[in-house]
Structure 1
Amino acid sequence: MSVIAQVFVVLAGVFHLAVFAMESLLFRKPSTYKRFRVKDDTEAAVARPWAFNQGFYNLFLALGALGGLIAGGDKGHAIALFACACMAGAGIVLIASDRRMAQAAALQAAPPIAALVLAAVL
């Protein structure tokens, strides 16, 4: 895998680590839960269990992408690219389900899509 493709894998992994922190560790803060279109503390209390779970989903994707790069070789790179494909798919689902989430979907999907494309052509 080219170095530039690896850079985009790292960007995708770091983004998903940040989302893990927001969803699983910082979700109780209004400044955090409002990023997810949660209006108030009452809604946040209801949403917290799924946000916590979703955060770990993002952590595992990040670990797959970053761990695959660290492992290296064809198998490690395949793991990293599979994690990127999952990230890209989730971003596409996000924009398809709620057009108001276009910016979040772009942040989520653009780096892993770039990694996939660059890994395929370089």
Structure 2
Amino acid sequence: MSVVAQVAVVVAALVHVVVWICEAFLIGRVHQSMFGQPAQDVPAIRLWAFGVGFYNLFLACGLVAGLVALHTGQELVGRTLIFYISWFMLAGSVVLAVADQLALSRKRNSAWGGVAAEGIPPLVVLLFA
């Protein structure tokens, strides 16, 4: 796997770790700036955000496990994990883009930063692997 793809794996994992921390533990602080949710909605979304935050952590862990496998002689296992999770993340960014266009939680065209952060690193992985 190319160096560019491996760097993109690390970037994708880091993005998902940051989002895990924000969703699972800092939702009361980042609700408006990161997710466009007013303070009065935080109690209603806290459980959802906690769970989704951990999904992001598990995705990051899968990418890290794939890199470890790749570098410890288990190339097929590593590539399989990295490809599957990269496709999963890319599909998640498409779902976020669709939700944004449907204005499901805030006004339309306000989630493109999240779409890019979630989708570009795994797309780079898939293009350069």
- Give the TM-score, by structure 1 length: 0.91
Q: Which runs of 5+ in 2 are unaligned?
A: 101-108
**Structure 2 matches for 1:60-99, cutoff 5 A?**
60-72=58-70, 73-98=75-100, 99=109
% identical aligned pairs? 34
- Once the two structures are TM-superposed, the CA of residue 26 in structure 1 deviates from its matched residue by 1.1
Q: Mean alpha-carbon deviation: is it higher for 69-78 or for 107-116?
A: 69-78
Confirm or deny that 1:105 pairs with 2:97: no
The corresponding residue for 1:17 is 17
The corresponding residue for 1:49 is 47
Count of residues paired in the alignment? 116
The corresponding residue for 2:127 is 117
Q: Secondary structure at the match of 2:110?
A: helix
CA distance in 2, matches of 1:9, 1:50: 26
CA distance in 1, matches of 2:25, 2:79: 29
Post-superposition Cα deviations, 1:23-65, rounded to whole Å, max 9, x if no partner, equal: 0011122xx111111111x200101000000000000000001
- Once the two structures are TM-superposed, the CA of residue 107 in structure 1 deviates from its matched residue by 1.1
Q: Secondary structure at the match of 2:27?
A: coil
- Once the two structures are TM-superposed, the CA of residue 71 in structure 1 deviates from its matched residue by 1.4
- Give the TM-score, by structure 2 length: 0.86
Q: Secondary structure at the match of 2:28?
A: coil
Cα-Cα RMSD:
0.9
- Once the two structures are TM-superposed, the CA of residue 67 in structure 1 deviates from its matched residue by 1.2
Q: Secondary structure at the match of 1:100?
A: coil
Which 4+ stretches in 1 moved above 6 angstroms? none
CA distance in 2, matches of 1:77, 1:27: 33
Post-superposition Cα deviations, 1:60-90, rounded to whole Å, max 9, x if no partner, equal: 0000011110111121121012111111110
